[in-house]
Structure 1
Amino acid sequence: MLQKWNDKQKKFLGFTLALLMVLTAAIPSSMAHAATTKTYNFNTMTYQSAWGATYSISNGSATINFSGQYREIKFNLPETLDMSKCTSVTFNASSPNGQTAFKLYDTAGSQAAVNYNFKAGTSDVSFAPNTTAMVNSIGIMAQDTNSYSAVVNRVTFTMTDSTPVTGTLLSTYGVELSHSGVAVNSNQLRDTQTLTTMKTQYNSITMENEMKPDSILGSSPKLISVSQAQNSGYYIPSGYTESTVPSLNFGTVDSVLQICYNNGLKLRAHTLVWHGQTPDWFFRTGYSSSGSYVSQAVMNARMELYIKSFMNHVYTGNYGSVVYAWDVVNEYLHAGPSGWSSIYGSNLGTTPSYVKNAFQYAHDTLSYFGLTDSVALFYNDYNEYEVTDNMIALVNFINSGTKLCTGIGMQSHLSTSYPSVTSYKAALQKFVNTGLEVQITELDVGNSSDSAQASYVYDLFSAIFSVKKAGGNITGITWWGLYDSVSWRSSNKPLLFSSLNTPKASYNSVLKAYTDAGYTVH
């Protein structure tokens, strides 16, 4: 048909298609249908019938013993499912001794769909049902001729809702929580296409590495005199007795600040004090890798110089207004051997003086610039659902006397198998009960399948909004990476996008949790 169009019509069509491609790439899934998952183990299903097969159930998993080829066992689902709304079915199982087939049966008892050749060593098998039948039971059939057993743990149906999910992370979470965030590197931030797409979903970024101590200090020291440092705008504490200062490299930071400012993005500054990615020479006499570790007094002065010089540089520049939060101390409760522990000790419990000092120096700087009411200072840690009480005790110590720490960062590197949403919600509730600001700062969710992730994140975000609606001061969620292949956990496919412009079922689940909580898309 296109051959019958004149050249002007063809050019207009080409322009229209190109425009549509740009728009759909920039705002992925803005009118996507919600994906929900229904997962059943064998505690929720009931036995129906068997031929040449026996079974036993333990912890929701069924061990099925087949006496030979084509022997089969059937189980009833707890409800009837409309396969016209099902995009995939996932069986989680192991078949160590032979191949297995999985079947779906309709309400009349007829086979509606089947997937053959489930092989040994496979844990998940997913297939599209390609049927519009109403299904209420499953079948598990032996394909090999010998007697053998198979273990089946659960079956998950990924269903689409007839009601479209509208909006983006920015028009939902970015509004209700103020900050919809993502972790990026400077190359991604400088890429025009990536930046444009990023801005449709997020209004806040965290740099993965470029604001950490080793990026600012460098792998080896470049020393300058105290007077040179002062002329460069460094803060020299009154207790600083050394004749030289390590040069601080703010080149990348400055470009990041400018990009954020020009593109309406806010920035979480991550991180000032951390046992990881801090060069060892920073803790040694003469800033030399061969020197001995300095005293606590000398290190206190170095830490004050570093924190105040870094923050001063940001807020005396033209673009410092984009930085709304600092991770002052990162992962102290999980710290391994480092320069910090070599100088201050490794068994300080929840009352480490140097951690409190770090917050004091950061607070002093905000106070100097009149920013204590607009910029938050965070303690940030991982496995927060395991060390909840210790995190609270630590923050209470930091805030004894003067409130220095204003926020708790829950890193939230999760998996669908651990932690449970219940335990995560309990930790979140304890944190908001302190009255401090809480942000989810490094979220990703490892999983065995897209459907398992979609189900987990729906429950997770429903729990988060339950705490939020009850009065919790939750002010932001930051995903740790743009899409799966650039994630530090790429093999676990832990993010909402499989590529820059390709949302997964979990993306729709996150949006559905938002609307199901009663919030309006803006």
Structure 2
Amino acid sequence: MRKKLLLCMAVVGMCAQMFTGCVARINEEKLPDPKAEQNQEIEDDKETGEVTPDAEGVTGTETGTGADEQPTKKPAKEWSTPEDYRVVEDYVVPESIADSEYDMETALTCVPLKEAFAPYFKFGLAMSGYNAQTFAVESPEMQELLKYHCNTTTATNLMKPSYMLSQAACQEAAANGVEDPVLDFTVTDKMLAFCQANNIGVRGHTLVWHAQTPDWFFREGYLDDGAYVDAETMKYRLESYIRQMLTFCQDNYPGVVYCWDVVNECVEPGDLENASGWRCRTRGESPEGTNQWYDILGYEYVELAFTYARKYAADGVALVYNDYNSWDSTKMFYIYELMEYLKERGLVDALGMQCNLSVDTDLLDVYNSVVKYAELGLELQVTELNIVAKDTSPESYEKQAACYKKFIQYMLSLDDSNGGNANITVVNIFSLMDGYLLYDSDSNNYCVFDCNIQPKPNYYSMLEALIKVGKHNPEIIK
């Protein structure tokens, strides 16, 4: 049973000044300001790139004081409260979490984010985990959160090559004359089964990356000390890997994986590679610090990966190029060049903007980059959204909430369903909760649910962005 929410709505029109040619600076006064009193100069901040865990599960972009120092004091009211956004009146604790130490009533009775953003784009929270035991699908609490709030998700780590490839099985196959790499789909299978049962689409992440791809994958016999293979052998392995990934998902769970990050983070202006025209990354994680894909195949590995993915992808499955710092003006130029090249050849459908940000990132740069990328006429996906707070104090969470509100307002104002020119199809936050419950240690503080699985101020501020921009689902937010 849903009850009407007594909210005063301010409908704010927003003009999205679109760009042609090079990016021009926009007038911030024409854009919605989430806090009129907050007029400080926001400085640029470099994204850190892909979030990767260490042995304890603590991720590379973690900051803050840790889950055990999560504040218990309620922040000063800046945004709305749980009572304002409760939509389930007769709450019954799901049987799966009946014995949980977490009280999830607020999280499972507030406005479902997937429904709130339905007029615009898919909304998701990524499934954390650095092994089978810590994967979100193993947690009843995380399952309930995903089912209630998400119509899309992605695995933060466990669909990457280093988790999919089995070295022992690859070596055994090679010893018997079989060059195809051997993949282990055990964890992926469990994830896809859960998502299929609960109508949650999956972003496949990621097929080709210079990181989290084992060095032995590039060596003869899949041996740690084998010589690096030649180009033809590597092409065969690349095609086989992509074919196996796509056909497993499509044959066993048709329609669940609706897009793939085919290549991740291959543009690096600092590498000064010129032949490609878009500055292909030459550095990577080989023992010599180089990108093995580039070492063996040259910059052509990017086009090859998309060519193979297009060959095996089912109709309607979008092929995505995904990168960090996509809003940086220098990097944006080269990403745009790559996207144009791939689009001309019919190989790409979407650009994935990771959006690993902080509260000090100038969000106007992000806005401007979306305006520019929209000129490509491709889908734009926000794939790994995280706006990191300085700490977990109430004041920091308030500033974080203001940034999330502004970010969402910008995306909504630019989206073509609201009169803009950008075809934004996905917004995905890159974890489920601060202080992720299956990690021994996790100091991430960018999520919309805190370490007690309670909505944070940024949860409410995102919903208020919907109201401020003026288009929202009237059945959900009244």
With normalisation by structure 1, the TM-score equals: 0.63
User: Which residues of 2 match residues 310-325 of structure 1 at below 5 A?
Assistant: 310-317=245-252, 319-325=253-259
Q: For residues 112 and 376 of structure 2, what CA distance do their matches in structure 1 show?
A: 31
Deviation at 1:280, TM superposition (A): 0.5
Q: Is the 8 A contact 1:174 1:180 kept in 2?
A: no
User: What whole-Å deviation, never above 9, does each CA across 1:430-472 have from its counterpart, x for those lacking one?
Assistant: 1122101011000111123011001111111111111112131
User: What whole-Å deviation, never above 9, does each CA across 1:29-62 have from its counterpart, x for those lacking one?
Assistant: x98999x755447x8xxxxxxxxxxxxxxx89xx
User: Which residues of 2 match residues 252-331 of structure 1 at below 5 A?
Assistant: 252-317=187-252, 319-331=253-265
User: Which residues of 2 match residues 47-62 of structure 1 at below 5 A?
Assistant: none
Q: For residues 126 and 260 of structure 1, what CA distance do their matches in structure 2 show?
A: 33
Deviation at 1:278, TM superposition (A): 0.7
Q: Does 1:200 align with 2:148?
A: yes
Distance 1:397 1:221, change over 3 A: farther
Q: For residues 444 and 196 of structure 2, what CA distance do their matches in structure 1 show?
A: 33
Q: For residues 239 and 141 of structure 2, what CA distance do their matches in structure 1 show?
A: 39
Distance 1:37 1:355, change over 3 A: same
Deviation at 1:412, TM superposition (A): 0.6
Q: Is the 8 A contact 2:125 2:431 kept in 1?
A: no
2:373 aligns to what? Answer: 431
The SS at the match of 1:499 is coil
The SS at the match of 1:354 is helix
Report sequence identity in percent.
Answer: 28
User: Which residues of 2 match residues 471-490 of structure 1 at below 5 A?
Assistant: 471-486=421-436, 490=442
Q: Is the 8 A contact 1:223 1:245 kept in 2?
A: no
- The structure 2 residue matched to 1:397, chosen from 341, 362, 367, is 341
Deviation at 1:492, TM superposition (A): 5.3
2:310 aligns to what? Answer: 363
Q: Does 1:377 align with 2:311?
A: no
Q: Does 1:168 align with 2:116?
A: no
User: What whole-Å deviation, never above 9, does each CA across 1:246-295 have from its counterpart, x for those lacking one?
Assistant: 32111111111111111211111111001111111110122211111112
Larger Rg: 1
Deviation at 1:396, TM superposition (A): 1.7
User: What whole-Å deviation, never above 9, does each CA across 1:80-125 have from its counterpart, x for those lacking one?
Assistant: xxxxxxxxxxxxxxxxxxxxxxxxxxxxxxxxxxxxxxxxxxxxx9
Q: Is the 8 A contact 2:383 2:428 kept in 1?
A: yes
Distance 1:223 1:243, change over 3 A: same
Q: For residues 128 and 190 of structure 1, what CA distance do their matches in structure 2 show?
A: 30
Q: Is the 8 A contact 1:37 1:452 kept in 2?
A: no
Q: For residues 6 and 266 of structure 2, what CA distance do their matches in structure 1 show?
A: 43
Deviation at 1:411, TM superposition (A): 0.5
Distance 1:518 1:280, change over 3 A: same
Q: For residues 303 and 31 of structure 1, what CA distance do their matches in structure 2 show?
A: 55
Q: Does 1:506 align with 2:458?
A: yes
User: Which residues of 2 match residues 44-123 of structure 1 at below 5 A?
Assistant: none
- The structure 1 residue matched to 2:267, chosen from 312, 333, 342, is 333
Q: For residues 350 and 294 of structure 2, what CA distance do their matches in structure 1 show?
A: 24
Distance 1:39 1:326, change over 3 A: same
Q: Counterpart of 1:211 in structure 2: which amino acid?
A: M
Q: Counterpart of 2:446 in structure 1: which amino acid?
A: P
Q: Does 1:353 align with 2:353?
A: no
Distance 1:395 1:509, change over 3 A: same
Distance 1:183 1:479, change over 3 A: farther
Q: Is the 8 A contact 1:184 1:205 kept in 2?
A: no
Q: Counterpart of 2:424 in structure 1: which amino acid?
A: I
User: What whole-Å deviation, never above 9, does each CA across 1:158-217 have from its counterpart, x for those lacking one?
Assistant: 534699457331111244213434333363213233212221111111012111101111
The SS at the match of 1:246 is coil
The SS at the match of 1:289 is coil
Q: Counterpart of 1:423 in structure 2: which amino acid?
A: D
Distance 1:219 1:158, change over 3 A: farther
- The structure 2 residue matched to 1:409, chosen from 347, 352, 356, is 352
- Count of aligned pairs: 364
Q: For residues 230 and 334 of structure 2, what CA distance do their matches in structure 1 show?
A: 27
Q: For residues 203 and 176 of structure 1, what CA distance do their matches in structure 2 show?
A: 13
The SS at the match of 2:78 is strand
Q: Is the 8 A contact 1:331 1:380 kept in 2?
A: yes
1:150 aligns to what? Answer: none
Q: Which runs of 5+ in 2 are unaligned?
A: 10-33, 43-70, 87-110, 269-280, 391-395
1:458 aligns to what? Answer: 405
Q: Is the 8 A contact 2:264 2:323 kept in 1?
A: yes
Q: Counterpart of 2:349 in structure 1: which amino acid?
A: T
Larger relative strand fraction: 1
Q: Is the 8 A contact 2:435 2:442 kept in 1?
A: yes
Distance 1:127 1:393, change over 3 A: same
What is the alpha-carbon root mean square deviation over aligned residues? 3.4
The SS at the match of 2:127 is strand
1:4 aligns to what? Answer: none
Q: For residues 169 and 128 of structure 1, what CA distance do their matches in structure 2 show?
A: 22
Q: Counterpart of 1:353 in structure 2: which amino acid?
A: E
Deviation at 1:392, TM superposition (A): 1.2
User: What whole-Å deviation, never above 9, does each CA across 1:393-424 have from its counterpart, x for those lacking one?
Assistant: 11222233x21110100001110112x11111
Q: Counterpart of 2:464 in structure 1: which amino acid?
A: K
